[in-house]
């Protein structure tokens, strides 16, 4: 479903992503692990088109999307939630989700119909809100709800576009244990045909939801295996304990 081949990104002399080749199958839950500065978010930026690779290619559902801009990749089915909330802050949660659903459905340019009043769009918005447990807050402005609710909305916006591949950049960043459990349940409840790639620092959550684990360090893949292999890997443990150094 999502494949990268020899992906390289350099910022001047700094090599941020080094020869990353990944193959994520349809319906797979792939967790990307790695310490701060390992190049995880840069990899996501390359996947969605916010950065252009210095070399290498990216395929989505067999189609080479490397030269395509962010919006076209979004339309082709790459949905992304951000590490730092990237929302429509002065709008309500309903308006946020409506923008996402309407854009995905090609209703963003409607001149004669109101996307906020359209029955089909409203229904999808309410379904997504229920999925991320935001039903009771739909008519609140984003800047009036809690940080946790904003994290949920961040994921909701990505889900609302009905993506083929959902890229989640640290969905539990900055939230407490209860919210981490809620995200765990959400990840478990996602349709099995949806491909999910997650950057996550919470090892328990990551290894519990993952089908496959990829560990990045200094921009390169240093481990690729199943969660049980990751648990047993001294390399993975060392990276997380900070005792592993790049040769």
Q: Which span sits near another protein by CB under 8 A: 51-59, 139-147, 188-196, 226-234? A: 139-147
Cα gap 98→87, rounded to integer Å: 12
> 72 or 235: whose CB is closer to another protein?
72
Site for another protein in 150-209 (CB under 8 A): 157, 161, 178-179, 181-182
Q: At what angle do helices 119-131 and 93-104 cross, to 10 degrees?
A: 120
Nearer to another protein, 8 or 145 (CB): 145
205-213 contacts at long range (C-beta below 8 A, 24 or more positions apart): 205/172, 205/180, 206/31, 206/33, 207/31, 207/231, 208/184, 209/29, 209/31, 209/184, 210/29, 210/30, 210/31, 211/28, 211/29, 211/30, 212/24, 212/28, 212/29, 212/30, 212/31, 213/30, 213/31, 213/33
Q: Is 110 in the site for another protein (CB under 8 A)?
A: yes
Residue 119, interface with another protein (CB under 8 A)?
no
Nearer residue to another protein within complex by CB, 50 or 208: 50
**Does residue 124 touch another protein according to CB under 8 A?**
no
Only segment of 20-28, 111-119, 198-206, 211-219 that touches another protein (CB under 8 A): 111-119
What is the per-residue binding string for another protein in 68-87, x denoting contact by CB under 8 A?
Answer: -xxxx-xx----x-----xx
Q: Give the residue with the Cβ less far from another protein, 106 or 242.
A: 106
Q: 142-170 burial by CB neighbour count: b if 16+ within 10 A, else e?
A: beebeebbbbbbbbbbbbbbbbbbbbbbb
The rounded distance, in Å, linking the Cα atoms of 171 and 46 is 19
With CB under 8 A as the contact rule, the residue among 6, 67, 120, 136 that binds another protein is 136
Residues that bind another protein (CB under 8 A): 48, 50, 69-72, 74-75, 80, 86-91, 95, 98-100, 102-104, 107-116, 118, 133-137, 140, 144-146, 148-149, 157, 161, 178-179, 181-182
């Amino acid at each position: 479903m999502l494949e990268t081949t020899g992906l390289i990104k350099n910022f001047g002399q700094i090599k941020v992503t080094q020869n990353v080749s990944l193959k994520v199958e349809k319906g797979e839950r792939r967790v990307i692990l790695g310490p701060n500065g390992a190049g995880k978010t840069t990899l996501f930026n390359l996947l969605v088109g916010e950065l252009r690779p210095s070399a290498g290619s990216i395929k989505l559902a067999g189609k080479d999307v490397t030269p395509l801009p962010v919006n076209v990749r979004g339309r082709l089915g790459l949905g992304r939630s951000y590490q730092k909330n990237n929302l429509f802050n002065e709008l309500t949660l309903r308006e946020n989700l409506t923008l996402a659903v309407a854009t995905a459905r090609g209703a963003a340019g409607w001149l004669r119909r109101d996307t906020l009043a359209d029955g089909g769009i409203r229904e999808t918005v309410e379904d997504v809100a229920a999925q991320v447990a935001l039903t009771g807050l739909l008519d609140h402005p984003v800047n009036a709800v809690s940080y946790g609710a904003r994290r949920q909305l961040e994921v909701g916006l990505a889900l609302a576009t009905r993506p083929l591949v959902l890229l989640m950049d640290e969905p539990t960043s900055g939230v407490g244990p209860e919210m981490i459990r809620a995200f765990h349940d959400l990840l478990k409840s996602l349709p099995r045909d949806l491909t999910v790639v997650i950057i996550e620092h919470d090892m328990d959550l990551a290894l519990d939801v993952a089908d496959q684990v990829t560990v990045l360090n200094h921009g390169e893949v240093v481990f690729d295996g199943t969660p049980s292999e990751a648990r047993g890997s001294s390399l993975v443990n060392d990276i997380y304990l900070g005792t592993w150094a790049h040769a």
